[in-house]
């Protein structure tokens, strides 16, 4: 069943049936304005949440039930904020019934898409010979230029391999004419793993190494807007955390560190202190004993990053982007990791693609993997990817994924 048809069914169920139920009750007479507002809110929350979830499927990464709740919760929060700010009337009974139905439909969509099999055939020549190691796909090896009996979603090949002779090239051309997608190994590796190998610098979809300057400016305005809207809650959380840090060991509340940022410029990052003041090194390891009791919680929930909102307002960081590395560590990585400096072509972020996909990185090897995620983010630098990272960040805060 096509997504458009499923979406229409969801809207009919979640918006239409509760309306019939409410209209049949004696407490309501007529289709009043409050009921109209409630119906519109329910329909908009459902539509945007379902479309977001469906659109995000093009990006790699495991989906979970928490992603459904985070997407719904975010858009529901926006809708309720608009209702309160504009002082619009609404029907509590309708919203309760309808939005419970919205959650059920979103979970149905989640399980429906999760059950869809992704079957791909691959030609074991050149770089595509090891593609079967990528998880999440049912791979079929093609040893002869013939289609398998199973229905496949696409064919993967190393289109630049000299071993791909005339018979294979004619076969791939015929497959394309029949409507079967044919992908080059580099594109499919990128789309399935969310990483770009750092052996070369890859251009974005416009054929440029430079991310969209227009979106860079729009992104800064969105950052400021989101920070201002969340500032009252953030201030309360920071004050409570500061009290907890002081009561825990009596040490300093804030931690300042020189980091490398946008276009390779150095800046001072602000954080709530999560480690003992006697710590002398910057890198952390799993179950690091230098982390305080309060520090372990605020690192897990990422509360220690909240003071960096000030860095964002100053234009030194963004809410979402590659992680800003310590100055000394960055200088070491420049010598060990190819093209490391290229990650500074966008502003560093409090959260980012590498953080939600991998978590914290320690040492050069883990940083190389993180850099592959950073390159993917830079190539696909866009509002849609930032929105996905926002929702995955909510999941990360709830689960503590990748915390050190």
In tens, the pLDDT along 174-228 reads: 998 888 889 888 888 888 888 887 665 555 555 556 788 889 999 999 999 999 9
When the pLDDT of each residue in the chain is averaged and rounded to a whole number, the result is: 84
Q: Are strands 254-260 and 266-272 parallel, antiparallel or unpaired?
A: antiparallel
Condensed to tens digits (0 to 9), the pLDDT of residues 224-282 reads 999 998 999 999 999 999 999 999 888 899 999 999 999 889 999 999 998 876 554 55
Helix (H, G, I), strand (E, B) or coil at 129: helix
Predicted pLDDT at 313: 95
Rg (CA), the chain: 25
| Residue whose structure tokens are 């990650």 | 343
Residues 6 or more apart in contact with residue 377 via CB below 8 angstroms: 321, 322, 346, 352, 353, 354, 385
Condensed to tens digits (0 to 9), the pLDDT of residues 14-39 reads 988 887 777 655 444 455 788 888 88
Helix (H, G, I), strand (E, B) or coil at 14: helix
Tokens standing for residue 229: 């809207």
How far apart, in whole angstroms, are the C-alpha atoms of residue 77 and residue 69? 12
Condensed to tens digits (0 to 9), the pLDDT of residues 107-162 reads 998 888 877 778 899 999 988 888 888 887 889 999 999 999 888 888 999 988 88
Q: Where are the alpha helices (DSSP H) in 204-303?
A: 213-249, 293-300
- DSSP lists the bridge partners of residue 139 as 120
The pTM score is 0.75
| Residue whose structure tokens are 């019939």 | 20
């Amino acid at each position: 069943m096509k997504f458009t048809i499923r979406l229409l069914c969801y809207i009919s169920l979640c918006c239409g049936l509760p309306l019939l139920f409410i209209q049949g009750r004696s407490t309501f007479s007529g289709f009043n304005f409050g009921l109209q507002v409630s119906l519109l809110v329910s329909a908009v929350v459902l539509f945007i949440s379902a479309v977001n979830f469906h659109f995000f499927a093009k990006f790699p990464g495991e989906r979970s039930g928490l992603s459904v709740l985070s997407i719904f919760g975010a858009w529901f929060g926006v809708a309720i904020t608009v209702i309160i700010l504009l002082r619009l009337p609404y029907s509590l009974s309708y919203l309760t019934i309808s939005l419970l139905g919205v959650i059920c439909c979103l979970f149905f969509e989640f399980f429906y898409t999760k059950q869809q099999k992704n079957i791909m055939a691959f030609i074991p020549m050149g770089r595509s010979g090891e593609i079967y190691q990528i998880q999440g796909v049912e791979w079929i090896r093609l040893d002869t230029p013939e289609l398998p009996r199973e229905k496949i979603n696409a064919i993967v090949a190393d289109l630049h391999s000299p071993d791909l002779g005339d018979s294979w090239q004619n076969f791939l051309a015929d497959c394309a004419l029949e409507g079967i997608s044919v992908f080059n190994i580099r594109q499919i590796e990128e789309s399935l793993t969310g990483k770009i190998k750092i052996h070369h610098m890859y251009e974005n979809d416009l054929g440029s190494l430079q991310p969209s300057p227009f979106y860079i400016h729009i992104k800064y305005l969105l950052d400021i807007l989101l920070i201002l809207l969340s500032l009252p809650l953030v201030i309360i959380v920071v004050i409570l955390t500061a009290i907890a840090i002081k009561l825990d060991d009596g040490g300093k509340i804030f931690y300042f560190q020189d980091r490398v940022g946008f276009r390779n410029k150095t800046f001072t990052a602000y954080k709530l202190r999560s480690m003992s003041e006697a710590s002398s090194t910057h890198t952390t390891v799993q179950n690091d004993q230098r982390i305080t009791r309060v520090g372990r919680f605020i690192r897990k929930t990422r509360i220690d990053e909240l003071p960096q909102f000030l860095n964002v307002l100053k234009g030194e960081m963004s809410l979402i982007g590659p992680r800003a590395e310590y100055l000394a560590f960055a200088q070491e990585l420049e010598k060990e990791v190819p093209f490391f400096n290229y990650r500074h072509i966008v502003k560093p972020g409090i959260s980012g693609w590498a953080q939600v996909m991998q978590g914290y990185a320690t040492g050069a090897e883990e940083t190389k993997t993180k850099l592959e995620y950073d390159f993917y983010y830079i190539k696909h630098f866009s509002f849609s990817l930032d929105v996905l990272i926002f929702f995955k960040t909510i999941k990360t805060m709830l689960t503590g994924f990748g915390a050190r």
